[in-house]
Structure 1
Amino acid sequence: MSLIERAADKLSKNEISNSIPGKIPQTVKTGLDPLFLSDNMSDQKIGKEVSVNNSPVVDLANRASANKKTIKKIEIDLESLHRKGIVTLDHSRSEIAEQFRLIKRPLIANAFNPDSGIKNGNLIMVTSSLSGEGKSFCSINLAMSIAMEMDHRVLLVDADVARPSIPASLGFSPEEPGLLDLLRDPQWKIPDVMMKTNVKKLTLIPAGRRHTHATELLASQSMHSILAELAQRYHDRVVIFDSPPLLLTSEARVLAGQMGQIVLVVEAERTTQQTVKEALQQIEACDVINLIYNKARAHSGGGYYGYGYY
């Protein structure tokens, strides 16, 4: 009998015979988690283990490896974004790039300063009172600007589940699985709905497939758990939620109570003071509310994005 045959015979007698058919052998239960096998062993090594040991643990590892979802990557047309007025790495000295540098700085300070006292400060919701005020434009610009940071990453979540506009802006299908799918099916995990981009430090989570009970899903315990995981597991990352308008839907009000910071976009010369007051009343549960005065004209031919705290 060869050395390999003797080893196989010994393994078969000492380990597999003590296991219950269809169950994980006791000797393996106390060792390496089988779910890590696909990450720590080559396919060739796993194949050899199957032929010698015939352990159900190895079969489980193979199934986990086969079913593991890979993070999708999309290519954003950065030149097209630049023409639309979006901040890009290749045009980082533009006027709008400088404006969003001013906007992001206090947000980042609040997110990562342990003395700020802000719970979940890295969760930032961008919203507006009404539609058309530029909240998605500001969400994307803010995300692109933060992606230029040396020490932080950014996750942009399309939480405008009724009328998502980020897919059209960044060039991916609105039918991609996303936030609502994550909330509806407990088998989905956050990495399953993430989308990498050609912007190194920018990752996306789409809105997902529409659901008639979107508001209830956003208010569920599942959403609370997801937000807690985003705030703690991805602690080096700013998470930006592009939410629906406050006065047109109920989803934004549900999200507001769970955010660390809120940015309210106000369109110059259109949004009335009374409208802004009504919107602020909807989000008063959040301690840190910031205003962007959007589409104002500081001088002829130039755009200006004012910023302040409420």
Structure 2
Amino acid sequence: MSIIENALKKASNQGLTEKNKSGDFVKKHEDLNVFDGNDSYNAAVEDDLIIPQDNQVVINWETLAAEGFIDHNDTKSQLAEEFRVIKRPLVNNIQGGEANGISRPNLILICSSLPGEGKTFISINLALSIANELDKSVLLIDADVERPTVSRQLGIKQSPGLIEYLENDKINFSDILLKTDLSNLNVIPAGKRHKYSTELLSSQRMYLFAEEVSRRYKDRVVIFDSPPLLVATQAQILAELVGQVVLVIAAEETPQNVVNESISKLANCDVVMTLLNKTKKEIDLYGYNYGYGKYGH
């Protein structure tokens, strides 16, 4: 029995979930952020929510491009083309769905072994690239709760985020959702610093949150920007919730033994891909390798 299944069973015992006609556990309709287990959702789904003015973000695209991110106005740049190559295996896995043996394929974790390898750079650019797909939308979640960078890069001011949602069951999904001026891109910030952030990320509420966003929005790609694997246990916890993991490796910087240690921590994940970042020479597929289950397999 998976961690998600255990969490749902435990929630059922506590009266937080109920079974539908098919015998599947689903969350009770306590607020607007629920699904009813048969892909028939109530009218108040995310895209129909009235987002307060404070929860709407206008991205400074010129500043973002000047800092080396994908230029919103230059869709033919080399960087944009590279991320088209990078995203394609991920999108293909999502389209193949669970028929390919991948649980929650639309949940993607971006992590690195150590700080400074460029995982947030990859997370944001991947989110921007996938958001330009005609039939895909992206929810970018800053899950690096100790050193959140997504908000700073996108010019998001301090606001309730993932930590507040996990800590307080009075806070709803709509309270932490930020809608950007790129129509297919929404963001959830990390939120405040918390001394028990690891315990919150491993909580039942987090498991139910991951299950809900995966099942509720089939066309939604959820990207988690994670802490480094070898610095905090939080990344390994988050890796258990997602269907695909991208391990960012700094070219000519990260030692092989460090990469191997990170790979071992991801051994139980359905899909683990590696992305060679900061490379100064051309490599086939931009150094992007991928495999199922274990590195290179």
Bin of the TM-score, shorter chain as denominator length = 0.7 to 0.9
Alignment of 1:227-266 (within 5 A): 227-266=210-249
Mean Cα deviation higher: 110-119 or 98-107: 110-119
Contact 2:65 / 2:72 at 8 angstroms: preserved in 1?
Answer: no
59, 63, 70: which one aligns with 2:52:
70
Say if 2:67 is the partner of 1:84.
yes
* TM-fit CA distance, 1:91: 1.1
Say if 2:208 is the partner of 1:225.
yes
Say if 2:93 is the partner of 1:110.
yes
Mean Cα deviation higher: 97-106 or 79-88: 79-88
Contact 1:88 / 1:145 at 8 angstroms: preserved in 2?
Answer: no
Number of matched pairs: 242
Tell me the amino acid that sits aligned with residue 213 of structure 1.
Y
2: CA distance, partners of 1:182 / 1:121 = 23
State the match for 2:28 in structure 1.
none
Contact 1:256 / 1:285 at 8 angstroms: preserved in 2?
Answer: no
Tell me the amino acid that sits aligned with residue 66 of structure 2.
R
1: CA distance, partners of 2:267 / 2:161 = 28
**Given the two structures, how large is their TM-score scaled by the length of structure 2?**
0.78
Tell me the amino acid that sits aligned with residue 122 of structure 2.
C
State the match for 2:196 in structure 1.
213
Moved over 4 A (4+): none
276, 281, 289: which one aligns with 1:308:
289
State the match for 1:58 in structure 2.
none
In the TM superposition, what whole-angstrom CA distance separates every residue of 1:83-103 from its partner, at most 9, and x where no partner exists? Answer: 112113311111111110001
- 2:280 is paired with a residue whose SS is strand
Identity of aligned residues (%): 45
1:190–1:112 CA distance, 2 compared to 1 (3 A):
farther
1: CA distance, partners of 2:94 / 2:72 = 23
State the match for 2:108 in structure 1.
124
Gaps of 5+ in 1: 1-34, 37-67
* TM-fit CA distance, 1:112: 2.4
Task: Indicate the structure with greater helix content.
Answer: 1
1: CA distance, partners of 2:234 / 2:62 = 33
- 1:127 is paired with a residue whose SS is strand
Alignment of 1:1-310 (within 5 A): 70=52, 72-114=55-97, 115-173=99-157, 175-298=158-281, 305-309=286-290, 310=295
2: CA distance, partners of 1:106 / 1:190 = 29
**Given the two structures, how large is their TM-score scaled by the length of structure 1?**
0.75
Contact 2:103 / 2:270 at 8 angstroms: preserved in 1?
Answer: no
Gaps of 5+ in 2: 1-30, 33-49
* TM-fit CA distance, 1:214: 0.5
Tell me the amino acid that sits aligned with residue 234 of structure 1.
Y
Q: What RMSD in Å do the two structures reach over aligned CA positions?
A: 2.0
State the match for 1:49 in structure 2.
none
1: CA distance, partners of 2:147 / 2:68 = 21
Structure index of larger Rg: 1
* TM-fit CA distance, 1:82: 1.1
